[in-house]
Amino acid sequence: MNPAAIAEHDQSSDLKIGARVGKAQSDKWTVSEVEALFDLPFNDLLHRAQQVHRQHHDPNAVQLSTLLSIKTGGCPEDCGYCPQSARHHAGIANQDLLSLEEVVSAARAAKEQGASRFCMGAAWRGPKQNDLDKVAEMITAVRALGLETCATLGMLKRGQAEQLKQAGLDYYNHNLDTAPEFYGDIITTRDYQDRLDTLEKVRDAGIHVCCGGIVGMGESRRLRAGLVAQLANLDPYPESVPINNLVQVEGTPLHGTEALDPLEFVRTIAVARISMPKAMVRLSAGRQEMAEAVQALCFLAGANSIFYGEKLLTTGNPETEKDRALLAKLGMHPL
């Protein structure tokens, strides 16, 4: 390509999205604008994402979070990706709510390994009040260790978010999972508005929002753009944005889905960074299957948080020593 053509190409790219990078929170992203980001040449997209990342974050710092399943299996929902659904046959044994002592012990171990945030997940459609009382005690105890606290407990009823806030919860995770028009292909036991309603309760209670999605579920690039647009247009957008790459588990409906190209996953990270500049963008599920080079590209694209430890809720995760070695290779350090 001659210099004139290069200049014309750069100008065209700028006309597409240049004015949108760093735009005001009140402005909304259209799906077409987000898709235009996805469509940029790979190097151009990563360059833009790294520029945005450096404006708002230490480019060589990563937050280490540990996720513990405090109640496993038996969920009545039919999420097509989830081995914890009682409707699927993925070989996950049901486990009652862990004791306060078990959770505090796990949190203390996570802190000793370098984690700064401790996330607690329960396989519920939504918590019953007596279970929420016990989780509130866990939150208070974990926060007393000096860790940020996060919980993912399903849909919340009126007053429950306020109880979690009073217990000391810093973040509540409730993912949108995918674009609205694809949601019904993945989940039928609740609708998109149910998720938005819970997020509104969390915001109204003064709890930070952790909200992202899953890619690699057979969606198109435009549907991935639709997910990012939904997240970026939340008012305000989430402080924490986990991007999950589908972990295919035998016995779930999505087992056998064509795997997402790794570079498309990197693009998703970059687009999330550009559209949500101040958020912590987290590499979540699927990282165990990613080569180190792909993870390095994700950090270059703007990821600055990882789940850290041997497993997520029920699926594998790179061991802590491997993670430490990778961060050392890259000259990165924990937040």
**Burial 31-64, CB ≥16 within 10 A → b, else e:** bebbbbbbebeeeebbebbbebbeeebeeeebbb
- Dihedral sign for Cα atoms in the order 203, 205, 208, 213: negative
75 has catalytic annotation: yes
Rounded Cα distance, 335 and 319, in Å: 19
282 has catalytic annotation: yes
**Which phi and psi angles does 333 have, rounded to 5°?**
-140, 155
- Given the residues 190, 273, 282, 287, the one annotated as active site: 282
Rounded Cα distance, 152 and 173, in Å: 5
- Given the residues 48, 190, 210, 224, the one annotated as active site: 210
- Given the residues 75, 267, 287, 298, the one annotated as active site: 75
Phi-psi region of 238 (alpha: psi -120 to 50; beta: other; left: phi over 0): beta
- Given the residues 117, 150, 267, 287, the one annotated as active site: 150
Q: Decide: 49 and 301 in contact? Cβ < 8 Å.
A: yes
79 has catalytic annotation: yes
Q: Decide: 284 and 307 in contact? Cβ < 8 Å.
A: yes
210 has catalytic annotation: yes
119 has catalytic annotation: yes
- Given the residues 48, 79, 224, 298, the one annotated as active site: 79
- Given the residues 48, 117, 119, 298, the one annotated as active site: 119
211 has catalytic annotation: no
298 has catalytic annotation: no
Q: Which residues are catalytic?
A: 75, 79, 82, 119, 150, 210, 282
